[in-house]
Amino acid sequence: MLDIKEDQNGVVIKVRVQPRAAKNSLAGEMEGALKVRLTAPPVDGAANEACCKFLGEVFGIAKSNVEIVSGHTGRNKLVRIRGVSEAKARALLCR
C-alpha cells in the first residue's frame, strides 16, 4: 500500500524515481513507494525538476505546488503535493 500522509498543506508521498526511462509514467507501487519513470537523466537536478512537473500534471496542479522534501540526490524521495487530500491522492494513484 502506498505511503501517503496528509498534513495541513496537502499530502506527502514516498516516491521511487527511475530516470532515463523511455517515457514519463507511473509504474505502480514498490515497497510502499510510488514508482515514477522519468525520461530525464539524474544530472544537475533534471530528474527532480521532471518529477515535480510530471506529478503536477498527474494531479492537475501547478508544478510549483509539488516540492521534494527529502531525497534530492537519490532515487527514494519524499514529495509534498500542496492542495491535495489523501483521498484524492489515493483515488488518482491507486487505480
CA distances from 77 to 50, 72, 81 (A): 13, 7, 13
Residues 9, 11, 14, 17: is their CA dihedral positive or negative? Answer: negative
Among residues 54, 50, 55, the alpha carbon closest in space to that of 80 is found at: 55
Kindly list the structural domains of the chain, giving each domain's residue range(s) and its CATH number in brackets, ordered by start: 4-93 (3.30.1200.10)
pLDDT tens-digit readout, 26-85:
999 999 999 999 999 999 999 999 999 999 999 999 999 999 999 999 999 999 999 999
Q: How confident is the model at residue 94 (pLDDT cuts 50, 70, 90)?
A: confident
